[in-house]
Amino acid sequence: MIKQVGTITFVFGLFILATSGLFAQDGYVEPVYPPVLQPGPFPFGTEPVRDDAPVDVTDPNDVIHEYTAYKGTVVVDGDLSDSAWVAIPWTFMEFNRDWQSSTEGSLWDEAYEPGGYDGWEDLSSWFKIIHDDENIYVAVMRYDDDFNYDPTTTDNPGNIWQNDAYQIIIDTRLPGDFEMESPGAEVGISYVDELEVYNWWSTTYQNPPEQLQLAEGNCASGLASTDGKAIIGSLDESGDLIVEKMEVAFVKFDVMIEGDEGMLSICALDRDYDTNESVNQWAQGLFVKTSEEYGSVYWSPETAVSKTSVRSREKAAPEAFVLNQNHPNPFNPSTTISYSLTSREHVTLKVFSVNGQEVTTLLDGVQNSGQYDVTFDASDIPSGIYVYKMQAGGQTFTRKMSLIK
C-alpha cells in the first residue's frame, strides 16, 4: 500500500496475519487492548514501591514510574515467545505529549484533552526490558491505525524522531542525582520500509553522553547502523489496526552492574500523515529533561521466571468455551489447567482460596481461538482447596482443585 502525502511518498509494509503468526507463538500473550489501567509498581505489581523515582510517583491514577529490569537472556530474532520475555508483562506507555501544543498528561486522566491524539486506536504502545551480564534487551510494540515514516531516514538515521519510531534514554546516574558523572545515552530505533534503523544522539543532558551500542546479531537491513546487529522489526495486522514489534539488544555500559539503580525514559512517536501528531511515553524525560522528569530503573540481580506456562495445542477449532478439570488433581506442587476458546477473546484465569481471596493471576491477555494448557506451580502456597476461575467471551467458569503437600 503506497500513500502520497505532499511531496513525500510513504510506503507501508503490511502482512496478513497467518495461523502460525503473531498470536500463535507458544506461550506468548498479547497485551490487553483496549488498554486498562494497571496501577504500579511495574512490572509485576507485587513488589513494594521502592520510592526511588525522581518523578512524582502518585500522578493522577497512581501509576508508578519505577521499572524493575529482571535478568534474562534472549536471542534477538523477532520472536517474543522466549521464556524470559514471557515472564515479563507488557508495560503500557501511559503519558501523552501533544506534539503541536506541547501539552502533556496521563491517558488515564479523563480531563486530559490532547489535540493530536484520537484515542487508543490512534496509538497504544508497550515495552519490556530485561538484562544479563553483557546486554540490555528491549522489546517494544504498538497498535496503530496508520503506519508512517520518512523514507529518507534509512540514509539519515538522525531523522528517526520524524517517523513512527521509539526513543529510549538509559542513564546510569542515580535517580535524583543529576549532577553526578556517569554515562547515559538517548537512542532511537525505527522500522522504515521494512528496514531496521538505529541512531544515537550525543546530547548535553547526559553526563557524559556515551553511545549505547547495538549488540552483534543477525539483522540483514544492509544499513550501516544496523546490519549484522541485534535488532529485528516486524509488521502485522490485527483487525483494522497495524501491529508493529521491535526487539533489540544494547551492549551495557562498562559501569553497569546488577543491583544498580538508574534513570529510564521510553516513548513511541506517532507520525500521522506528514506531521508528528503525538508521543506516548512511559514517565517523562525525553522532551523536558530535568532531574524530576525521569522514571527509575532497577537492574535486578533476580532472574525473571514465570511460574505460569501457557501452551497452545494444534487441533480443530473448539465448538464451545470450556474450562476443564485440572490434572493431576490432587496435585503437588504443579498441575495443568486446560481450556478452549471459540473466538479471539480477552481471557483472565485466576486462582482463589475457598474464602474468595485472590491467590494469583495465571493469565490476563488476548488469545486466539484454540485449546490451551496452563501449568500452575503452587510451590509457594500451603495445602488446601483452591478455586480457579476463567472469564472469556462474556462468560465465567469456575472449578475446584486440591493441593496436598
Distance CA 212, CA 214 (A): 7
Residue 241 has pLDDT above 50, yes or no: yes
At 259, list the grid cell. Answer: 543491583
pTM: 0.72
Q: In terms of domains, do 351 and 367 share one?
A: yes
Q: In terms of domains, do 297 and 321 share one?
A: no
Q: For position 43, what pLDDT does the model report?
A: 43
| Domain end among 264, 284, 303 | 303
Where is average pLDDT lowest: 37-46, 126-135, 246-255, 287-296?
37-46
Q: In terms of domains, do 174 and 285 share one?
A: yes
Q: In terms of domains, do 343 and 292 share one?
A: no
Range of the domain at 385: 308-403
Query: Pairing mode, if any, of strands 135-144 and 123-131?
Result: antiparallel
Q: In terms of domains, do 233 and 265 share one?
A: yes
Q: For position 10, what pLDDT does the model report?
A: 23
**Position with higher pLDDT, 55 vs 362:** 362
Q: In terms of domains, do 115 and 248 share one?
A: yes
| Domain end among 303, 322, 349 | 303
Q: In terms of domains, do 91 and 174 share one?
A: yes
pLDDT in tens, 307-320: 555 666 655 668 88
CATH number at residue 162: 2.60.40.1190
At 228, list the grid cell. Answer: 549484522
Q: In terms of domains, do 117 and 139 share one?
A: yes
Average pLDDT of span 43-49: 45
Q: In terms of domains, do 292 and 327 share one?
A: no
CATH number at residue 393: 2.60.40.1930
Domains identified in the chain, total number? 2
Residue 4 has pLDDT above 60, yes or no: no
Q: For position 77, what pLDDT does the model report?
A: 95
Q: In terms of domains, do 327 and 292 share one?
A: no
Q: In terms of domains, do 234 and 346 share one?
A: no
| Domain end among 286, 303, 320 | 303
Q: For position 290, what pLDDT does the model report?
A: 74
Q: Which amino acid is at 205?
A: Y
Q: For position 361, what pLDDT does the model report?
A: 87
Where is average pLDDT lowest: 198-202, 293-297, 382-386?
293-297
C-beta of residue 366 within 8 angstroms of C-beta of residue 389: no
Bond prior to 301 in cis (omega within 30° of 0): no
Q: Show the CA angle centred on residue 129, arms to residues 123 and 130, nearest 5°.
A: 160
Average pLDDT of span 221-241: 95
DSSP-assigned letter for residue 1: -
pLDDT in tens, 205-220: 899 999 999 999 999 9
Which range has the top average pLDDT, 70-74, 150-154, 251-255? 251-255
Q: For position 268, what pLDDT does the model report?
A: 95
Distance CA 332, CA 377 (A): 9
Query: Pairing mode, if any, of strands 2-5 and 8-11?
Result: antiparallel
Mean pLDDT of the chain: 81
Residue 232, SS3 per DSSP: strand
Kindly provide the b/e burial profile for residues 212-249, where b requires at least 16 CB atoms within 10 angstroms of the residue's own CB: bbbbebebebebebbeebbbbbbbbeeeebbbbbbbbb
Q: In terms of domains, do 226 and 363 share one?
A: no
Distances 1 to 10, 227, 232, 277 between C-alpha atoms, Å: 9, 26, 22, 21
Distances 111 to 104, 107, 114, 231 between C-alpha atoms, Å: 11, 9, 10, 38
